A and B are shown apart, each in its own frame.
Chain A
Amino acid sequence: MRLVVKYTIGEKVKYISHLDFMRLVQRALRRAEIPVAYSKGFNPHPKLSFASALAVGTLSDGEYLDIILDREMDPKTLCHRMNEKLPEGIRFVEAVAIDEKAPSLMSLIERGEYLIKISGVKSRKIDAVSLIENFLKQTEIVTIKKTKKGDRQVNIRPMIHKIDIIDQHQDGITIKALVSTGSKANLRPEQLIEALLDFANISYYPEFLVQIHRLDLYLFQDGKLVTPVDME
């Protein structure tokens, strides 16, 4: 039986790295006595995969994992049993059964939605509405991507799909951004913020506080964005 599980990452666990998180889930599965299927071979590992790695320090309301069980289990029971055995800050919100043969979650995800709060900008008053408007008017937003083979220029404009201003406060703004996420194209929210600040001519200084909160992940189905637990 194959299940897709939606879970959340809260304040108390936001600094856990992706690798540590995978181990944590595996141990919680054993504590909860979930009948996870294992791979064959010398080093059997549970058949468990994650939709998208979350950067250290990021909160999330919409994370997904894909799990294969040895026998049938009510998805609600799985969530309930896991929530009793997970550390504070991680919650399994919802689980749905999906077709065993469906492609991996990781390959399906195309969009990520983020709530980004920037504070600590003391320098001057900024007209956020026109800033965002002009930022999005650009046909090209070139950033430098550091890779093993050296620095590479990347145009991130095609990966920014929507930016809404949620709130303007005294020393910064809160925005909601929809960007490309997944194996086809991926824009990290940090890159977006860097480009935006660069565009606004605000240099990055330590008093800055950027809080990133992933709201959800989406895939396309019949031309519409749906979350992995809503796909048909």
Chain B
Amino acid sequence: MREERATTRRQLLKGGGAALVGLAAGARPTAAQGLRSTPEGLARELMAYGRRSRFVGTSRITLDNKVNMQMHGDPNGFDALTPLGEQTGIITPAPLHFISSHGDPPPDIDPARHRLMIHGLVERPLVFTLDELKRLPSVSRIHYIECLANRPRPGAEHTLETSHGMVGCSEWTGVPLSLLLAEAGVQAGARWVVGESLGRTQQARSFPLGKALLGDTLVAYGQNSEPIQPHNGYPLRLVIPGFEGKFQLKWLRGIKVTDQPYVTYWEHGSFTRRERTPLGSYWEQGPKSVITYPAGGQRLPGRGHHTIVGFAWSGNGAVRRVEVSTDGGRTWADAELEGPALPMAMTRFRHPWTWAGGEAVLQSRCTDERGDVQPTAAEFGDFWGEYAAPHGNQIQPWKITDVGQVLNAL
């Protein structure tokens, strides 16, 4: 269904032009179909480490976030969005996984010299090398990571990616933090864990020891069966399934067990807001879904059959149900969940739809295994007290105009 998209068609047309150039340069046709072969040198190179076809140009949407990041006290933004509209399965390719680094370029960490220290309220403070961590029993689990600021926003200029591009889903491989804590021996009175990060901004974040002991929190070194990429935390990061992305520190150097939350530099600001509620107001993200085709920034190539597709996820466990409305929320129909619906992982859904021309508003609604239902913008505003609040999981409506343009309907 992706081939139907106008943007993809344009890319193909561009690619077609490039193919003609290749032909002129003298690539040999195969006998059967008149196809050109990849030049021999390049073909050999690609045998060592593959590369996508030169006809594929999908890339992260990089942001000049200077204004945005000033809210966090960062003069520089190192942010880039997942091209969600081009993602065909639940796994986000690591090179396309969103980046939000608050002004930190990735530190250039030599894995042979990197250490992870477990300290604080533990019986046996321990320092591990990466090799030692890899000798411990590892697990591989598929989980999304989402920035807390990823949310629908009002304004026709917002596309699928600018509203929902700060989420990605990977298979993470690493050691359960609970195992490392058992090796170190947690002392009585311990209540919190402070993750400590390398990098210029030396980020540190507190989260409840209870989550660390649950067994699903990982000290991860693998992302989609490869070492984690530098922008996503090489060589070690925290993966705290279901929790907001801000806790899942990259370039992890320390785990400190404490009896109190630290409220560090990085936990001030937007992360502890006016509500004067505990840090623990926003641990898990609520049930969420978004239609990725047709979606804001795209254009329908014509009337007739289209397959609505999208992703759903929840910080509370697995996605149980996704409903789709094609009439602005008046009626809803169950979408088909496609592929695995794993806990705290992106889950694909699809729904057949015929566009007869004219205006339409499409939206999706997720229900998770706990029975929590994705709220409308109005319900969300009522819950959080302020529409523009971060931590948003409200329903995203997309408006189809009579010429097939898809716009943000908030």
Bound pair (A, B)? no
> A residues bordering B, Cβ < 8 Å?
none
